[in-house]
Structure 1
């Protein structure tokens, strides 16, 4: 049954399941791709590609996603906790408790991901476009090649053209090629 022919309650349930999975696991099993403007003019674009090592467990991936998202989410939750505690205790003490909680959770998440983080590959690039000129800072070419390959793998898997094992194997090939590129570029510097 196609999504548009499903009853609204089933569509809502599927959306909730999808967004819960994305919130916990991230959008891609292989990592994360972020592309966006740095400023409102759009003349400076930032690209970030994070690729997890193949064979990563769901628990490890969730820990990495949590670690990456905690500073923003934790700040908001910390403010909510501080405001809530402000009713029961002194305002500065409530703020100190919320800040301590934020730092403790940050340190625990850092410790929980310490074994896997060194194997996570990260590429960054910034493109500055001015009138008649474009300057690339960082490793845009390998980043875009790897991102395109990984997104194509996801698309093929979504359409049933790859099994999960084939998907992970090909993701491993992209990971290996990317790690060699990173090693070569850094050893030249």
Structure 2
């Protein structure tokens, strides 16, 4: 059973809500809704998952770091030196995360479905059903594991099944 009371908050933040990856639903303009399911390679450690999450968020945290350094360094060292230092930290941080996640970064599987209200698209409907089934299975596996109804092996097996099914559904051009 997951014991979140002994895990530091920063660690829970980095590990996200799901150990297998993430699920996002983004309603946008004009009745378009974007669904995104990300599944990390099963069997990687919690540290590897945290590194993957940091890598995937690099554009956001990297730019925030860049801007904060610019604000702090311009008065201290001048605009040109501040730009160089901020740029090196920004690019260096991204490069460091890219190198530390190189072994398993290519194994991340992503499924994106876009639905438009009022538009009949049989392919999108079929893809959404597959998306829904995979997401439901993964969330149910998390719930059962958190409730102590299943062992870590059973949870990992459910993640492997979803991971493998995502590979079968992926277009040939995006398989790795």
Pair in the same fold by TM > 0.5: yes
Residue 49 of structure 1 aligns to a residue whose secondary structure is strand
**Do 1:125 and 1:138's aligned partners in 2 also have CA atoms closer than 8 Å?**
no
Deviation beyond 3 Å, 4+ runs, structure 1: 16-19, 134-139
User: What displacement does 1:147 show?
Assistant: 0.7
- Mapping for residues 39-188 of structure 1, pairs under 5 Å: 39=29, 43-129=31-117, 132-135=118-121, 136=124, 139-182=127-170, 185-186=171-172
Superposed CA RMSD: 2.4
User: What displacement does 1:80 show?
Assistant: 0.9
User: What displacement does 1:20 show?
Assistant: 2.2
Question: 1:168/1:63 Cα in 2 relative to 1: closer, same or farther (>3 Å)?
Answer: same
**Do 1:123 and 1:139's aligned partners in 2 also have CA atoms closer than 8 Å?**
no
**Higher gyration radius (CA):** 1
Partner of 2:28: 38
**Do 1:126 and 1:137's aligned partners in 2 also have CA atoms closer than 8 Å?**
no
Question: 2:7 aligned with 1:21, yes or no?
Answer: no
CA distance in structure 2 between the aligned counterparts of 1:100 and 1:88, rounded to whole angstroms: 17
User: What displacement does 1:138 show?
Assistant: 9.6
CA distance in structure 2 between the aligned counterparts of 1:138 and 1:117, rounded to whole angstroms: 28
User: What displacement does 1:82 show?
Assistant: 1.0
Higher relative contact order, structure no. (Cα contacts within 8 Å, ≥ 6 residues apart): 2
User: What displacement does 1:53 show?
Assistant: 1.7
**Do 1:47 and 1:126's aligned partners in 2 also have CA atoms closer than 8 Å?**
yes
User: What displacement does 1:61 show?
Assistant: 0.7
CA distance in structure 2 between the aligned counterparts of 1:134 and 1:173, rounded to whole angstroms: 30
Question: 1:119/1:138 Cα in 2 relative to 1: closer, same or farther (>3 Å)?
Answer: farther
Partner of 1:4: none
CA distance in structure 1 between the aligned counterparts of 2:153 and 2:52, rounded to whole angstroms: 22
User: What displacement does 1:32 show?
Assistant: 0.9
Paired residues in the alignment total: 168
Question: 1:178/1:81 Cα in 2 relative to 1: closer, same or farther (>3 Å)?
Answer: same
**Do 1:36 and 1:45's aligned partners in 2 also have CA atoms closer than 8 Å?**
yes
